[in-house]
Amino acid sequence: MIRYIGRRLLMALPVLLGTSFLIFAMVYALPGDPIRALAGDQPLPPEVIAQLRAEHNLDDPLLLQYLKYLAQLFQGNLGTDFAGNPVSETIALRLPITARLAIVAIIFEIIFGITAGVLCALYKNSWFDNLVLVSTTMVVSVPVFVLAFLAQWLLGFQLGWFPVAGIANGWFSLILPGLVLAALSMAYVARLTRTSMAETLGADHVRTARSKGISELRVVTRHGLRNALIPVVTFIGADLGAMMGGAIVTESVFNIPGIGRAVFDAVRNQEGPVVVGIVTMMVFFFIFFNLVVDVLYGVLDPRIRYE
Amino acid sequence: MSDELPTPTGVRPGGPDSGAEHELLDLVEENIEQATLWGEAWKTLRRNPMFLIGGVIAVLMTLIAVFPSLFAGGVDPRDCDLTDARQWPSAAHWFGTDLQGCDYYANVIHGARISLSIGLLSVVGTMVLAVILGTLAGYFGGLTDSLLSRFTDIFYGVPLLLGAMILLTVTEERSVFTVSLALSIFGWMTAMRLVRSSVITVKNADFVAAAQALAATTRQILTRHIMPNAISPVVSFMTIAMGGFIASEATLTFLGIGLQAPEISWGLQINVGQSRFSSAPYLVFFPALFLSLTVMAFMLMGDALRDALDPDRN
């Protein structure tokens, strides 16, 4: 197990470096000029431009720029944005907000996704099953930004149940964006749970449990659900790793100052250090959660062995 | 693929009864093989209501995209009259008029072309990258496979929208082509993994060994024998991906990073319409409806195709 984790971490390192170089190269090597983007409409005096270019190593060859960046990175320095604020400070400020949003979304996925999936498996081809099939198809088809807009308008504006945007009301204002962020995965969780649960309920051990006279509730929860949830847990874990990417759209529409909004603003302003820093961190979480899931898989399902 | 010859009785069209040339026979056999593979899938598909609904919408949207002025009744989407601005849907303007007084129905109809073009171009770009890299990695294995797979992992970690966003921002050029290119560059990884694993399965098949025994070159084996057989598992995925790319383009455009003003795009229409939502909700409703229906059509078809082409999964 330890060896397995070690090997996976070792394999993750070149991927992490590769991704950060990919983003770095895109931000710094392509024609867009970050200093010009910074200046906006007002032209900067040439001395200021020269100083800014020197400060951000923009005149070095690309690979040298990247190595300088890496050297700084390993000393825990993620660089500064053009206004002089350390990128690490931005992350420390924004990450907790996105983390809270992700927690709300995961709770939605678990509660609604799994419940719907289990009920569908128990009452296959009932009206409820068909309702879930149709509504998950619709949720998957409607683009997230349209969904966000609909939720904002219906639940926030018309019915007035939830705040429309911003985070002034703490956790409460995260319910609507959390629901939107979770919507797509909720649909997948429901379908995955349905398939997996239906398969488990037809398995021999469940039939045996029933024949022993165990109550139906116990059969479903202890013998069925426990086994059926293994692929679902895997999906949710991997989804958690991908959530920061999904948060870009949600946070932009709902005006939530999280990490997704931060990277969106940074991309638009072409603030290289911020983009590279945040994306590298996102990829790190992505790889990390996938590793956690793979390890967890073995814990949940003792049949799986790591050599 | 199978060793036994297909029984030609009844299937042979017209029947080349005497002195049929080998070449022709081979051709007929090949057609029979193809007909049975896709024939089976088609039998399943045409009884699947989900596939039929998706198929009808997709065909309709494609027709709209190819002949927009036909569907718009000859109304020019850019022929606007400011005095007619923001009128609710009526007999004269089925979907109302937009902020500039343009006929909104004509605008929404003309939006189909951009969405479908970008979806199709992105799918083609993705397929090219995925098939080339996936075939190389799967067939050669070893170091080539390791390097190409790690290369894929690097791109896999970057979310599609984020990667496309960065690329489009720094290149500062937003056309149908660049948006499709950006979506392809950050959207090929799952397809590559599918191709790779199906190539690994196919390369040990008897007909590949037979081709090798006949001294076929590597290039021939790859292009004639492996690629055609490895592609079918990717077809259903790419159909779903087409819907995904169309949604991604609209999202990028909605966020102000995709296409820009003189272009007619659903994402752009929703973006403009959202500020007037309380007084003119139809400005968001119609493009969003067309967009969602189009995405849904490809998702439904892809789902059904996967079930039909890959029965082992269920």
Question: Is residue A23 one of the residues assigned to a domain?
Answer: no
The enclosing domain of A253 has a CATH number of 1.10.3720.10
Confidence class for position A58, pLDDT limits 50, 70, 90 = low
Residue B48 lies in a domain: yes
Q: Which residues of A touch B296 (CB under 8 A)?
A: 137-138, 140-142
According to the model, what pLDDT value does residue B11 have?
Answer: 41
Of B242, B282, B237, which Cα lies nearest the Cα of B104?
A: B282
Over residues A144-173, mean pLDDT = 77
Residue A273 lies in a domain: yes
> Which of B154, B171, B243 shows the shortest C-beta gap to A15?
B154
Asked if the structure places residue A67 within a domain, the reply is no
Residue A156 lies in a domain: yes
pTM: 0.82
Q: Is residue B246 part of a domain?
A: yes
A154 within a domain of the structure (yes/no) = yes
pLDDT of residue B55 exceeding 60, the answer is yes
In a domain, B110, yes or no: yes
Question: Which pLDDT score, from 0 to 100, does residue A66 have?
Answer: 81
- The whole-angstrom separation of Cα B288 and Cα B274 is 11
Percentage of the residues of chain B whose pLDDT score is greater than 70: 79
Mutate to test the interface with A, among B50, B147, B170, B298 (most CBs of A within 10 A): B170
Q: Is B57 part of a structural domain of the chain?
A: yes
User: For B251, which of A138, A144, A286 is closest by C-beta distance?
Assistant: A144
Residue A132 has pLDDT above 80, yes or no: yes
**Is residue A40, in this structure, part of any structural domain at all?**
no
What distance in Å separates the CA atoms of residue B126 and residue B239, rounded to the nearest whole number? 12
pLDDT of residue B126: 93
Type and span of the H or E element at A218: helix A216-218
The per-residue pLDDT for B125 is: 93
pLDDT of residue B30: 57
Mean pLDDT (whole number) for A129-146: 86
| pLDDT value at B195 more than 70 | yes
Structural domain contains residue A37: no
Pick B299's closest partner by Cβ from A27, A140, A157: A140
Specify the higher pLDDT residue, B26 or A200: A200
Q: Which CATH number fits the domain that encloses residue B113?
A: 1.10.3720.10
Count how many domains chain A has: 1
Q: Residues of A near B (CB-CB distance < 8 A)?
A: 11, 14-16, 18-19, 22-23, 26-27, 30-32, 137-138, 140-146, 149, 153, 157, 242, 244-246, 248-249, 252, 263-264, 267-268, 270, 275, 279, 282-283, 286-287
Evaluated on CA atoms A24, A25, A26, A31, the torsion sign reads positive
Residue B61 lies in a domain: yes
* Domain coverage including residue B249: 44-78+95-308
| Structure-block tokens of residue A28 | 């710094």
Whether residue B66 is contained in a domain is answered as yes
Phi, psi of B74 (to 5 degrees): 80, 0
Residue B286: pLDDT over 80? yes
Looking at mean pLDDT, say which of A126-140, B83-97, B118-132 comes out highest: B118-132
Cα B58 off chain centre by: 11
CB-CB under 8 Å, A142 with B292: yes
Buried residues in B162-194 as b, exposed as e (16+ CB within 10 A): bbbbbbbbbeeebebebbbbbbbbbbbbebbbb
Q: Write out the residue range of the structural domain in which residue A104 sits.
A: 87-300
Write down the residue that tokens 């050029």 correspond to: B173
CA distance A299 to chain B (A): 25
pLDDT tens-digit map of B240-253: 889 889 999 988 88
The predicted structure's pLDDT at residue A30: 62
Q: How high does pLDDT run on average in chain B?
A: 79
Please report the ipTM that was assigned to this predicted complex.
0.81
Domain-located, residue A199? yes
State the pLDDT at residue B74: 67
The pLDDT tens digits of the residues spanning B15-44 come to: 444 444 566 556 555 555 555 566 777 777
Chain-centroid distance of CA B52 in Å reads 17
- Number of structural domains (chain B) is 1
- Nearest residue on chain B to A196, alpha-carbon basis: B314
pLDDT for residue B268 is more than 50: yes
Nearest CA in chain B to A284: B157
